[in-house]
Amino acid sequence: MEPGDLGEVLAIEDVSFPTPWSRALFLEEIDREFSDALVAVPREGGGVQGYSVCWTVADESHLLNIAVHPEARGQGVGAALLRECIRRGARAGAERIHLEVRAGNGAALKMYYREGFSHVGFRRGYYSDTGEDAILLSRDLKEPDAV
């Protein structure tokens, strides 16, 4: 992700989340040494289809954000971003990746379970904007080539 991508990234962010991240927040992630901020673009060229932000600190990665343009969903873009986060985290020394997801987010849950994540916890009312519960998921990264 580069600052020049942020117009497209923010347009996707705004239609994807009840409390979207700001431009300033994305800029911080672009500059943060231990953050991988990625964009997905089609091989044949074109605009940003999706993006992800993942931290790797010591032996743990944490997926903070992932979204795909509504018109590009269901084509594997989200899974491709997730796999790249996993590859980069593993390369940087992470042994596990963690994330939180809204309990009602069926599309995201389906993607995470398919990509090898397991349920490790639950936080009631975690999302203050909607009061939704969070499901905590985690995946071992010791065999990154398995994805």
Ligand X SMILES: CC(C)(COP(=O)(O)OP(=O)(O)OC[C@H]1O[C@@H](n2cnc3c(N)ncnc32)[C@H](O)[C@@H]1OP(=O)(O)O)[C@@H](O)C(=O)NCCC(=O)NCCS
Asked whether position 103 contacts ligand X by CB under 6 A, the answer is: no
φ, ψ for residue 2, nearest 5 deg: -125, 160
CA distance 8 to 49: 9
Exactly one of 13, 51, 112, 132 is catalytic; name it: 112
Residue 8 interacts with ligand X (CB under 6 A)?
A: no
> Minimal distance in Å, beta carbon 86 to ligand X?
13
79 binds ligand X (CB under 6 A): yes
Q: How would you list the strands of the sheet with 96-102, edge to edge?
A: 35-40, 50-57, 60-68, 96-102, 134-140, 118-123
The only residue of 6, 9, 54, 77 in contact with ligand X, by rule CB under 6 A: 77
Q: Does 108 bind ligand X (CB under 6 A)?
A: yes
Would strands 60-68 and 50-57 be described as parallel, antiparallel, or unpaired?
antiparallel
Q: Tell me the C-alpha distance between 143 and 132, whole Å.
A: 33
Smallest separation, CB 4 to ligand X (Å) = 21
If the CB atoms of residues 39 and 101 are measured against ligand X, the closer one turns out to be 101
Q: Which is nearer to ligand X, 32 or 114 (CB)?
A: 114
Provide the minimum distance between the beta carbon of 133 and ligand X in the complex, in angstroms, as a whole number. Answer: 13
Of residues 75 and 93, the one with the C-beta less far from ligand X:
75
Nearest to 48 by CA among 66, 25, 28, 22: 66
C-alpha span between 28 and 133 (Å, rounded): 27
Query: Which residues are tagged catalytic?
Result: 100, 112
- Site residues (CB under 6 A) for ligand X? 16, 66-68, 73-79, 101, 105-108, 110-111, 114
